[in-house]
Amino acid sequence: MKDLNVTGTLVWYYFICKREVWLMAHNIIPDQDDPNIDLGRFLHENSYIRRKKELSLGNVKLDVINKRDGRLLVGEIKKSSKFIESAKMQLAYYLLELKRHGLEGTGVLMFPKEKKRIEIKLDDELIKKLERIEKDILRICYEPYPQEPKKIAFCNKCGYREFCWA
């Protein structure tokens, strides 16, 4: 297997399902016709259109990036705040990647259906936590096989549900 890069998506799934981290890292694509994937894609493409300035930086893809008070403001669009910890850590990882490229910024999670926004700031404690998570994600990805499936609440809305439970 070639060298892997940790991505924001892998960070997000790390807090939901470690099996899914392995599957994504090995390019096993979830069911693209799954209605939940369709809804996420629709919200991503149709929310915050006027402010949307998508940017790819290394192995991360930022949904919205602007300047506020002379600082970068990075936005991440989510369909729900149900998995808030995952969303916070994904956005914090994006801020860490910006910092690694010499850019400082603040993040904002945006939940258009809920009309909710949460600001995220990177600090030393969060950086240390993200560095530990990066190492664990790589450990998971370099395993020869994915973890056995475990039934969790997320399974019902997962694009891999048939792969895991058929």
- For 40-140, list the strands marked E by DSSP: 55-57, 60-62, 64-68, 71-77, 105-111, 116-120
Residue 94 lies in a domain: yes
Rounded CA gap, 48 and 55, in Å?
Answer: 15
Residue 3 lies in a domain: no
pTM score of the predicted model: 0.82
Residue 79 lies in a domain: yes
Residue 138: per-residue pLDDT: 96
Beta bridge partners of 66: 73
Q: What range defines the domain where residue 53 resides?
A: 8-165
- Count of structural domains within the chain: 1
The number of C-alpha atoms within 13 Å of 155 and in the hemisphere containing its C-beta is 12
Minimum mean pLDDT range among 8-22, 71-85, 89-103, 105-119: 71-85
Task: Report how far Cα 154 is from the mean position of its chain's Cα atoms.
Answer: 15
Three-state DSSP class for residue 116: strand
Residue 146 lies in a domain: yes
Q: What is the CATH number of the domain that holds 16?
A: 3.90.320.10
Residue 18: per-residue pLDDT: 95
